[in-house]
Structure 1
Amino acid sequence: MPSVRIKKSSVIIGTAILLLALSPFAYSRYTLYKLERGILAYLTETKHYQEEEILSIEAKISKMPKYPIYVKFTDEPDVTYLYIYRDDKYIQAPPGLDSNWHLILRKHTDKETL
């Protein structure tokens, strides 16, 4: 009888340790998924893009910003737009500068970022 109790408690402890070890990974995957769904809703509902106009959406984990969201549009497949979720809203990162220190404005650059 004692060996059954030891096996049962070992399984429970092992399962608890495994769940604790996997929880940060599961949380980060869920956060990325939630950000990707959120930016899609933002672009289609607030910015009035059609889903067909959006080529790809990919959220990642990085140092700064912690969760950048990269968006590509079908009419500019070589251009990647960076969005950040901050203070309960999505913000497009400002465009880059050319060699003459002028803003590189693209077709889908948000006017609020300028």
Structure 2
Amino acid sequence: MRKKILIFGLIFVFLVIGGIFASLQIKYKSLEKSLKNYLISEQGYSESDILSVKAKLSKMPQFPVYVRFADDPDTVYIFTDRGASDWTQVDPSTPQRLRKEVNMK
């Protein structure tokens, strides 16, 4: 009886850990795809301008997305969507990669 409980307990633990891992991978892929689409469709970058887009788990911001551009491959730009679909560059602050227009009135 104890063996069955132990086996079911281990299976449950593996399923929980596997579920957490799978959900993080889905979140990463979603963020990477969203930022890449944003950079291409709204910021005017081409597919060849972007070398890599990689999301990770972090403390602050919780899900940063690291981007390397073809014209500056040694610099890693960090973006966050702050839980919404409005992308913001976090680091490095200069040079700024987002081409946000300033409204002057």
Structure 1 residue 90: Cα displacement: 1.4
For normalisation by structure 1, the TM-score amounts to: 0.69
| Residue number in structure 2 paired with 1:40 | 36
Distance in 1, Cα, partners of 2:12 & 2:42:
42
| Long gaps (5+) in structure 2 | none
Query: 1:53 — aligned with what?
Result: 49
Farther off after superposition, 25-34 or 82-91: 82-91
Structure of higher RCO (CA pairs closer than 8 Å, 6+ residues apart): 2
Q: Which residue of 2 aligns with 1:4?
A: none
How large is the Cα RMSD of the aligned pairs? 2.5
**Structure 1: which 5+ residue stretches go unaligned?**
1-6, 97-103
Bigger radius of gyration: 1
Instruction: Tell me, in whole angstroms, the C-alpha distance in 1 between the residues paired with 2:17 and 2:71.
Output: 42
Q: 4+ runs of 1 displaced by more than 2 Å?
A: 10-21, 108-112
Per the TM alignment, residue 70 of structure 1 is displaced from its structure 2 partner at its CA by 0.7
**What percent of counterpart residues are identical?**
33
Aligned length: 99
1:11 to 1:94, Cα distance in 2 relative to 1, 3 A: closer
1:69 is matched with 65
Over 3 Å counting, the alpha-carbon distance change for 1:110 and 1:48 in structure 2 is: closer
Are 1:105 and 2:84 counterparts?
no
Distance of 2:13 and 2:63 partners within structure 1: 27
